[in-house]
Structure 1
Amino acid sequence: MKKKLSSYIVIGLVLALALMGCSSNETSGGGKDGVTEISFIHWRGEDAEVFKELISKFEKENPKIKVDMTIYPSEEYQSTAQTILRDGSTGDIFTSFPGSQFEIIKKAGLFADISNEEFVGKFSENLIEAGKADGKQLAVPLQLVYNQPVYNKGIFEKLGLQPAKDWEGFLALCEELKKNGYIPIAFPGADIGPGQLMNTMMMNNAPDEEIFTKLMAGDAKLTDEWWVKTLSQFKELVDKGYITKEALGTKHDGAIALMAQEKAAMLASGSYAMAGIKQQNPDIKLQLLAPITVAESEAKYEGVHTTTFMLAVNSKSEKQEAAKKFISFLTEKENAEDYANKTGQHVTLNDVAYESEELKETAVWMEKNTRFQPRFLIPNADVEKAVIASIQAVIGGTEPEKAAAEAQKIVDQNLSK
């Protein structure tokens, strides 16, 4: 009996040591054959091929690390990323939108502090503010995006048109395009259009960059002139036939196709759409403009920018060192340039050389007076949805005052919580 018991004890010790070894291996992020597999999640489906190339290069340079990339539709990603990240098994490296999603993920404690990482110093300091909170760098935005309409330079040149400097000029521009058989503005109202065009439509109507902070404090309302005027100007574009018919049924891919086919002269999204248009029509000449909704003398801002695609490390991950190594790899000059030029995205890193035509063309916007995207300064996701829904309601035929009042009800409900 004692001999049998001793055998059980020996077996038990062996199993315990084996389990301890497994536990140690898991904690250090080790996997099969000593290879650490890290999960990278984001929403940029259009960047998939470029990321595959970069991941392949990274894995050759780091044979003990494997990167598994998962891409979600952007709308799904905005609403579910924080849930996906919670147990640490997915999204060792993840991306975040600035604004309400960043706030939700921050409150959940899912950002690892990367303040002291060497790669943070490679970024332009003034372009990574969106990834800071409580004195810590929690994420580094990789992309510098201009959230304003793309326009077809060839069509404008053919008709002798220039971007307008005031609202009446913008309406006249749209009328001239319409007269000549073009859709003035391809508007993806079924997905991103309302949330994108709102930025330039309101940037000078409410030049106070604290306007949404004040809204959430009860010191401003959506029923005030700044938002009702913005909605009224959306209504004007609809009533005059300047945006896509059936706009609320048009998705971004469909609107991009209208631009690529040169049926539409402007696209209500942003600079990130230019590469997709050029893929379908390599010869098209593109540039950016912003509707100026006030008199030229009253215009404070020329356009809107966002620093987004914020790279972060999951605080729940057991593979944080490997995750940081991959982010560091993406910030190396050669790799950052490869990403920028192949995806048509400006990046927030210093000393990056742009080679693609559209990036060189739009680099002029770096010198213009642009403001950070207003929509991403709405800290509450329910309020953000209500603001966007008020635009969709107006496009669908609701009067601006009524749409504003309905949205303000949502604001009031969130203020009382």
Structure 2
Amino acid sequence: MKKLLILLAMLTVIIAGCGKNSSTSGDSSDSSKKVTINFTHWRGEDSKAFDSIIEQFEKKNPNIHVEMTVFPSDSYQSQIQGSLLSGEGIDVFASFPGSQFETIRKANGFAKLDDQNLLSKFDEKLIQAGKSDNTQYALPYQLVYNIPVYNKGIFEKLNLDIPKDWSSFLKTSETLKKNGYTPILFSGDVSPSQFINPMIMNNEPTNNALHEVETGKRKLTDEWFIKTLSQIKELNDKGYFQKDALGTKKESAAALFAQEKGAMLAQGSYMMATVKQQNPKIDQGLLAPITVDQDKAKYEGVHTTTFLLGVAEKSKHKEAAKKFLTFLADPKISSEYANATGQLLTVKDVKYDSPELKESAKWKDKKTVFQPRFTILNERVSKAVETSVQDVLSGMSAKKAAEKAQGEVERVAKN
């Protein structure tokens, strides 16, 4: 009987040990077990660069396999929301700053990032968009300038200087039009949310004007916002955008710019690499429309820290996910990604090789404001601002478009 009890005790220990191994078979904290983590983002154009980086990561971490999922940017939030809430399918993911970041944070979608070794790899001033209540939830990876890209060759050919005020911006646009160029190539799916930012920056030169709209301290029917919409409408009415601007997609506008059909592209620095791939001979720069007299201009341009990288709070493999995040933040890996994709980054000690990146990097020394639209924390308010631009391009008066947008803001405030 005693031998039987001893045997049973031994079996219990063995079974318990097996149970323990089974429960940790997918746990990244056990370095001997292979786990699979998912990396989800919206930048399909970066997939080739990420494939190379993932291959290097897996070679260095043979027990971690990384699967990559890419969704379109315009449906990204709705696509990832279910996975983040369920804890299935996403471990590392990207988000936009502003309302999308805030929505995910409020839903407890982000795990806290408190590893000082990881945080120290980033420029502290450039990662504030991923922070809330002094806690870092996500790390903005890209530094973008949300101002038009311009064709230096066309400007030089026509002896045009960079406009320093609104009057000279209109004169420059008129000269371009008379010489057969579309002054500003506008894309209906992207430009309304991009072009409005430099148009606002000096009309109401604060860093939180649109955020104060959603808190009720300001209104979209105030003079500064109506003026902004009026100036956008003026550009359209004078034929400085191409025909059917709202019906033009981001890729089509970029292709027209690469073909040198237009002199300015109303998107941002993130498009320079794409344009260069289509036309290796094109010489590009960045400029911002100055909507006031030169002596009244406070800002030279607009910047955004975006592509916020985070770890899903409900990830079953947080340690493996954080390892991958740390790998992406390595200066050597970051430099590879930056030069392969044409993106400026927030990581310290990145080395930029391409002329486009060196051109964009010059803007780090200029006085820029964080993108006004991304200070809005409510998605419906952000959409109302964007829609007001579409409305004036569709023929609505600036005043009526502003009143319509403000009405939506007030409806949001009541809910």
Aligned residue identity for 1:210: N
**Corresponding position of 1:152:** 151
SS in 2 for 1:122: coil
SS in 2 for 1:307: strand
Distance apart, 1:87 and its partner CA: 1.4
Q: Tell me the C-alpha RMSD between the 2 structures.
A: 1.9
Distance apart, 1:231 and its partner CA: 0.6
Aligned residue identity for 1:237: L
Distance in 2 of aligned mates of 1:46 and 1:29: 32
Distance apart, 1:20 and its partner CA: 5.2
Distance apart, 1:233 and its partner CA: 0.6
Bigger shift: residues 129-138 or 108-117:
108-117
Distance apart, 1:26 and its partner CA: 3.3
Matches within 5 A, 1:181-260: 181-189=180-188, 191-260=189-258
SS in 1 for 2:310: strand
**Corresponding position of 2:75:** 76
Which stretches in structure 2 are left out of the alignment for 5+ residues? 1-9
Calculate the TM-score normalised by the size of structure 1.
0.94
Distance in 2 of aligned mates of 1:121 and 1:140: 11
Distance in 2 of aligned mates of 1:79 and 1:399: 32
Distance in 1 of aligned mates of 2:292 and 2:373: 19
Distance in 2 of aligned mates of 1:248 and 1:117: 45
- Percent identical residues: 53
Bigger shift: residues 207-216 or 400-409:
207-216
Distance apart, 1:364 and its partner CA: 1.2
SS in 2 for 1:241: coil
Does the aligned pair in 1 maintain the 2:200–2:225 contact within 8 Å? yes
Distance apart, 1:118 and its partner CA: 1.1
Aligned residue identity for 1:180: N
Distance apart, 1:241 and its partner CA: 0.3
SS in 2 for 1:66: strand
Distance apart, 1:181 and its partner CA: 0.4
Distance in 2 of aligned mates of 1:200 and 1:117: 35
Matches within 5 A, 1:93-132: 93-132=92-131
Does the aligned pair in 1 maintain the 2:28–2:318 contact within 8 Å? no
Aligned residue identity for 2:183: P
Does residue 307 of structure 1 match 2:305?
A: yes
Distance apart, 1:29 and its partner CA: 6.9
**Corresponding position of 2:163:** 164
Do the aligned partners of residues 148 and 24 (structure 1) sit closer, same or farther apart at CA in structure 2, a change above 3 Å counting?
same
Distance apart, 1:229 and its partner CA: 0.6
Distance apart, 1:19 and its partner CA: 5.7
Does the aligned pair in 2 maintain the 1:29–1:36 contact within 8 Å? no
Distance apart, 1:62 and its partner CA: 1.0
Distance apart, 1:16 and its partner CA: 8.2
Does the aligned pair in 2 maintain the 1:78–1:97 contact within 8 Å? no
Matches within 5 A, 1:15-414: 21-28=21-28, 34-189=33-188, 191-414=189-412
Aligned residue identity for 1:155: I
**Corresponding position of 1:5:** none
Distance apart, 1:134 and its partner CA: 1.3
SS in 2 for 1:165: coil
Distance apart, 1:362 and its partner CA: 1.9
Describe the superposition over 1:298-322 as per-residue Cα deviations: whole angstroms up to 9, x where unpaired: 1100000001111111110010111
Aligned residue identity for 1:25: S
Distance in 2 of aligned mates of 1:93 and 1:223: 41
Does the aligned pair in 2 maintain the 1:154–1:284 contact within 8 Å? yes
Do the aligned partners of residues 243 and 267 (structure 1) sit closer, same or farther apart at CA in structure 2, a change above 3 Å counting?
same
Do the aligned partners of residues 359 and 250 (structure 1) sit closer, same or farther apart at CA in structure 2, a change above 3 Å counting?
same
Which stretches in structure 1 are left out of the alignment for 5+ residues? 1-9
Does the aligned pair in 2 maintain the 1:29–1:318 contact within 8 Å? no
Distance in 1 of aligned mates of 2:336 and 2:58: 16
Calculate the TM-score normalised by the size of structure 2.
0.94
Does the aligned pair in 2 maintain the 1:88–1:314 contact within 8 Å? yes
